[in-house]
Structure 1
Amino acid sequence: MYQAMTDKQLIKKIPDGGILTPKGFQCGGVHAGLRYAKHDLGMIVSEKPASCAAVYTTSHFQAAPLVVTQQSIAKEKILQAIVVNSACANACTGEQGYQDALKMRSLAAAKIGIPEHHVAVASTGVIGEFMQMEKIESGICKLATGKKADDARDFQTAILTTDTVMKSCCYSAEIDGMTVSMGGAAKGSGMIHPNMATMLGFLTTDANISSENLTAALKNVTNTTFNQITVDGDTSTNDMVLVMANGSAGNQLLNPDHPDWPVFVELLKESCASLAKQIAKDGEGATKLIEISVAGAMSDEEARVIGKQIAGSNLVKTAVYGADANWGRIIGAIGQSQASLNPKTVDISLGEITMLKNSTPVAFDEDQAREYLLNDKVEIFVDLHVGEGKGMAWGCDLSYDYVKINASYRT
Structure 2
Amino acid sequence: MREIEGSVTAPLGFRAAGVFCDIKRLGTGKGSDRGPKPDLALIVSDRPAAVAGMFTTNQVVAAPVKVCREVVRRGVAQAVVANSGNANACTGRQGLADARVMAAETARALGLDPREVLVASTGRIGVLLPMENVRNGIRAAAQALGRGGEFASQAARAIMTSDTRPKEVAFEWEYNGRVYRLGGIAKGAGMIHPGMSPTGRRPASLPRHATMLAFLTTDAAVDRRPLQEALTEAVACSFNRITVDGDMSTNDTVLLLANGAAGNAPWSARSRAFHAFERVLQEACARLARMIVQDGEGVHRVVTVRVFGARNVREADAAARAVANSALVKTSWHGGDPNWGRIMDALGYSAARVVEEKVDIGYAAPGSREVLWCVRRGRPTEVPFQELCRAVAPPEFELHIRLNLGRAGAVLYAADLTEAYVEFNKGDVNDPASLGG
Normalised by the shorter chain, which TM-score bucket?
over 0.9
Q: Does structure 2 conserve the Cα–Cα contact (< 8 Å) formed by 1:50 and 1:247?
A: yes
Secondary structure at the counterpart of residue 240 of structure 2: helix
Question: Out of 276, 281, 290, which is 2:294 matched to?
Answer: 281
Where does residue 132 of structure 1 map in the other structure? Answer: 130
> What displacement does 1:343 show?
2.7
For residue 49 of structure 1, report the CA deviation from its aligned partner: 0.8
What is the aligned partner in structure 2 of residue 314 from structure 1? 327
Deviation at 1:17, TM superposition (A): 4.6
Moved over 3 A (4+): 172-177
Percent of pairs with identical residues: 38
Residue number among 364, 382, 385 corresponding to 1:366 in the alignment: 385
Q: Partner residue of 1:30?
A: 19
Give matches, 1:211-222, under 5 Å.
211-222=224-235
Distance 1:333 1:175 in 2: 47
Alpha-carbon distance, 1:223 to partner: 2.1
| RMSD, aligned CA | 1.8
CA distance in 1, matches of 2:6, 2:380: 46
Q: Would you say 1:394 and 2:394 are equivalent positions?
A: no
Q: Match for 2:395 among 376, 379, 382?
A: 376
Q: Specify the alignment match of 1:5 in structure 2.
A: none
Match of 2:241 in 1: 228
Q: Across the two proteins, how many residue pairs are aligned to each other?
A: 399
The one of 77, 80, 105 equivalent to 1:79 is 77
Partner Cα separation in structure 2 for residue 364 and residue 328 of structure 1 = 15
The alignment's TM-score, normalised by the length of structure 1, stands at 0.92
Q: Is the 8 A contact 2:6 2:148 kept in 1?
A: no
Question: Displacement, 1:133?
Answer: 0.7
**1:54 matched residue in structure 2:** 53
1:262 and 1:194 map into 2 onto residues whose CA distance is 25
Residue 249 (structure 1) aligned to one of 247, 262, 268: 262
Q: Name which of 268, 272, 286 aligns with 2:281.
A: 268
1:410 is the counterpart of 2:435: yes
- C-alpha distance in structure 2 between counterparts of 1:361 and 1:177, whole Å: 57
Aligned to 2:186: 186
Residue 245 of structure 1 aligns with an amino acid whose one-letter code is: A
The gaps in structure 1 that reach 5 residues or longer are 1-11
Report the Cα offset of residue 176 of structure 1: 4.0
Q: Are residues 348 and 15 of structure 1, via their aligned partners in 2, closer, same or farther at CA, if it must alter by over 3 Å?
A: farther
3-state SS of paired residue (1:161)? coil
| 1:393 aligned partner, one-letter code | L
- Structure 1's 320 and 63: CA in aligned 2 closer, same or farther, altered over 3 A? same
C-alpha distance after superposition, 1:304-344 (max 9, x if no partner) = 33222221111111011000011111212222221234332
Q: Relative to structure 2, which stretch is displaced further, 379-388 or 88-97? A: 379-388
Shift of 1:221: 2.6
Q: What SS class does the counterpart of residue 136 from structure 1 fall into?
A: helix
What are structure 2's unaligned runs of at least 5 residues? 25-34, 198-210, 365-370, 428-433
Q: Secondary structure at the match of 1:122?
A: strand
Q: Deviations over 1:282-311 (max 9, x none)?
A: 211111211112222223343233222221
Distance 1:176 1:62 in 2: 43
CA shift, 1:158, in A, is 0.5
- Aligned equivalent of 2:32: none
Q: Tell me the distance in 2 between the aligned counterparts of 1:311 and 1:219.
A: 23
